[in-house]
Amino acid sequence: MSGGLAGQLREPVRIERWRLGDELVDDPGEWRFERKSWAAIAPENVRPADDGGAMSSRRRYRITMRRWDAAAEPAGLYRLIWNGRMISLLARQDDPALPDRTMLIGEERL
Q: What is the pLDDT of residues 5-29, one digit of tens each?
A: 778 899 999 999 988 777 667 777 8
Q: What is the pLDDT of residues 83-104, one digit of tens each?
A: 999 999 998 888 788 888 889 9
Q: In angstroms, rounded to a whole number, what is the distance separating the alpha carbons of residues 93 and 103? A: 5
Instruction: Report the predicted TM-score, pTM, of the whole model to 2 decimal places.
Output: 0.76
Q: In angstroms, rounded to a whole number, what is the distance separating the alpha carbons of residues 24 and 21? A: 9
Q: Assess whether pLDDT exceeds 70 at residue 42.
A: yes
Number of separate domains in the chain: 1
Domain of 30, CATH number, reads: 2.40.10.270
> Which pLDDT band holds residue 56 (cuts at 50, 70, 90)?
low
Structural domain of residue 78, as residue ranges?
Answer: 4-109
